[in-house]
Amino acid sequence: MKKGKKLYYTILVSMLIIALGLNLVVNFKNYTHKEAQFYIEIAKWANKHEFYTASEFYYRVAQKINPNELWMDFYVARNKVLKAQKIEQLTPHKIILLKDAIKLFQKEIAKYPREYSLYSNIGEAYYRLEDFDNAIKAFEKSISLNPKDTYSLYYLSYINCECVHNYEKALYYVDKYLELKPNDYERYFGKAYALSGLNRNAEAVEWYKKYLEHNPRSVAALVNVSGNEISLARFNDADEHINRGLELNPYSAYLLSHKVDVLIAKGDFVNAEKYTNQILGQNYWNGYIGFRKFAKIEYLKGNMFSAEEYIDKAKENAQEYFDKFCDGKNYDLNDKAANCRNRFEFIDEFEEIKSKVLSDDLT
């Protein structure tokens, strides 16, 4: 919705709230259960047009008129989750919204303990609160009541894959999801990602290719499939996917990094150095990628001292970014901020990475 149109509707709905609110104060005792339904319809309209505060207001009005009206706490809780969804960072306001929603969902669960949709909704609230353990428990409860709940299966595959890195569970749930929705090609990416996490690279390549048949301009898929192919020493296949990706985004540090890997494997150190300089020239914070590539090149050229200097500079660059931009958090693999998470993994696994870089391993 355009800003001007959104502002117009916001003013309109605000005026309607004030007018109806004044009318409620004067005539509240005269309202009937039939009129409660009228306010529910207004609440639904407001929700549909993303006026979540107004929607919550009207649901509460309906509940005041008819205290026996069903599902009011559910609808209000759902509004709070949708409102929280609009807030990107986990701010104090977002936390309050989600905790309030969880309390309301819990009230409804106490009344309707066999209603699977309540568990899927409270699961989403926990997910957005980054309480992944409780989110998983809620979604698993939902599919125990309704094994065909694709909404919960989607979140279970996503959280296990992207947030807690339990790739076996992620693969299990994405397979269950695809049994019910075999043509949802967006989840082909999720399946490929889970397979990659399990080092089942050949299978991951096939699923990324299936995904790319439907979404050929996905740079993320081209980055990932080329990485899998490099791990399998399929350097020509990787180069083909890298070049496709660079046509779409010539500035992707990850694609350029994979290009360097292919050139190193082919012994073309001149062009490998050219692409590495391109990585470093684009952004100072690409240092942890670029210096790592220079370390590999120097090692293979027999310059061990330079190789060690470069790999240590890569770690320093990653640590500098981490300290400057990651809010001083003690990051773990549950964090969804990719730039911080990637550097955390690099720092956390540095000794293992260093030993691989300073070796003849080209994959």
pLDDT in tens, 269-278: 999 999 999 9
Could you tell me the pTM of the whole model? Answer: 0.83
Q: What are the start-end ranges of the H helices in 66-131?
A: 72-85, 92-111, 116-128
More confident residue, 256 or 331: 256
Tell me: pLDDT of 287 over 50.
yes
More confident residue, 90 or 142: 142
Q: What are the start-end ranges of the H helices in the chain?
A: 3-27, 33-48, 52-65, 72-85, 92-111, 116-128, 132-145, 150-158, 167-180, 186-197, 201-214, 219-231, 235-248, 253-265, 269-282, 287-300, 304-325, 338-348, 350-357
Region class of 71: left (phi > 0), else alpha (psi between -120 and 50), else beta:
left
Tens-digit pLDDT profile for residues 42-79: 888 888 888 888 888 888 888 888 888 888 999 999 99
Q: Are 269 and 285 in contact (CB under 8 A)?
A: no
pLDDT, residue 25, reads 44
More confident residue, 219 or 25: 219
Tell me: pLDDT of 24 over 60.
no
pLDDT, residue 21, reads 54
pLDDT, residue 185, reads 94
Q: How far is CA 28 from the centre of its chain?
A: 45
Tell me: pLDDT of 34 over 80.
no
